[in-house]
Amino acid sequence: MRLIYIGFAVPENIVQKSKAVSVAGNNMEIGILNHLCEKYENQIDVISITPIASYPREKQVLHRKQTYQISDYIKTNAIGFINIPIIKQLSIMLTLIIELIKLLKSNKKSDNKTVIMTYNSMSFLSIPVFLIDLLFNIIKVCLVVDIPITFQKKRHKYLEIARYLDNFVSLKAFRKYDSMVTLVEKTANDFAPNVPYKVINYCVSDIAKIKYKDDDKRSVEKTQINITFTGAIEEYYGVHEMIQSVLHLPSHFKLQLYGKGSLVQEIINIQSDSKRIRYMGLVSNKEAVKAQQFADILLLIRTDPELNKYGLPSKIIEYLASGTPVISNRISSIPNDLNQFINYIDDTNPVTIANKISSITNPENYNKVLDRAKKAREHILENYVWEKQADKIWRHLNEL
């Protein structure tokens, strides 16, 4: 079997610079590819579309073709494209078709089957693959990480229309694939009920496996209790609810927020008035993992019903690997085996969140909560590892 993977995998230095990179998505791609390329190096080609925001958000009009050596095992060909809205998507499609034809022609003499797997089903990825399928005998597989859900409006009407069309095509495209590899079973059942699929887990990164804090030194009997959130600073991640919840608590409770998003400036304005709210900036994955381990409580709040149904909160895996107690509202896409380790709240009202924080940081309860958090880390490190998921994917592809 030959696998051609098309996605957005890039090195860490680009993750830090770009306004468009999904840290969780990049970690997932690297986690899977690292183990597949280590085992089957000569059977895999990796194509990347460098995730950069379209001009003028990022002042780059032309992105040139280049090669990324992401790890000892992952070498990816990053295609070139014109970074202007709409033209960008069209140029990516054209370049992808050319690259795929080159790869498939070189593989034509082989009797091995060829699988093309795309990261999600965006139109500029799925359409080139569907067109190539008319010319070559390939198997089309979609790695479904999330579905297109729109939260923020575009500045121009034509961009809104373009995004609507792309979302429409992306959802319809699921049914045209020969198979799906998905994080959430409901996604496959609801959007492509007749397409065979394999469910995999999102897993902990190698960085999150490292222990930076001694659990024996954890305590809430101190002058400051640190509540931490790392992720997208967006309304749908409950940022407003988190802030309001802390303001319902005594003054020694502090909230630290790490990440990037549309609410960053609002948080900066809030912290100038309140010493209890701190925006810590966009940091490396390693620094985010350290912040999680040194926190007393981690918060994961999602307020959008559609996102809760179809989008796995990958952050929960990283949180549970930290050994720090986690508070979350009930999210149906969280794997059932993790429910025993999470301190759930029944709604996202700030008072409800504050009451849960107060309850589990009570010195009489905290040791019991810590014990559950330690068991969560052990469970994640044993079961949520990319080696197992990569092997599961490869077996599934071979069976198609």
- pLDDT tens by residue, 31-56: 999 999 999 988 999 999 999 989 98
- pLDDT tens by residue, 220-229: 778 899 999 9
pLDDT of the residue at 151? 46
* Spatial distance between the Cα atoms of 165 and 158, rounded to a whole number of angstroms: 11
Q: Is the backbone peptide bond immediately before 56 cis, with ω within 30 degrees of 0?
A: yes
- pLDDT tens by residue, 155-184: 667 677 878 888 888 999 999 999 999 999
Q: In this structure, what token pair is assigned to residue 313?
A: 């909160």
**Residue 238 and residue 303 in contact, taking contact as beta carbons nearer than 8 Å:** yes
206-383: which CATH topology? Rossmann fold (3.40.50)
Q: In this structure, what token pair is assigned to residue 228?
A: 């931490």
- pLDDT tens by residue, 372-399: 999 999 999 999 999 999 999 999 999 9
* Spatial distance between the Cα atoms of 148 and 231, rounded to a whole number of angstroms: 19
CA within 13 Å, CB half, 144: 33
Averaged confidence pLDDT in the chain: 92
Q: How would residue 187 be classed by pLDDT, with cut points 50, 70 and 90?
A: very high
Residue of 212, 240, 262, 204 whose CA lies nearest to 381: 204
pLDDT of the residue at 97? 98
- pLDDT tens by residue, 1-36: 999 999 999 998 888 777 778 888 999 999 999 999
Across 277-309, b (16+ Cβ under 10 Å) vs e yields bbbbebeebeebbbbbbbbbbbbbbbbeeebbb
pLDDT of the residue at 81? 97
Domain 2-203+385-399 has what CATH class?
Answer: alpha beta
- pLDDT tens by residue, 247-278: 999 999 999 999 988 999 999 999 888 889 99
- pLDDT tens by residue, 82-120: 999 999 999 999 999 999 999 998 877 677 899 999 999
Instruction: Lowest mean pLDDT of 75-84, 106-115, 181-190, 197-206, name the range.
Output: 106-115
**Residue 355 and residue 372 in contact, taking contact as beta carbons nearer than 8 Å:** no
Q: Where in the chain is the domain with CATH 3.40.50.2000?
A: 2-203+385-399, 206-383
pLDDT of the residue at 161? 82
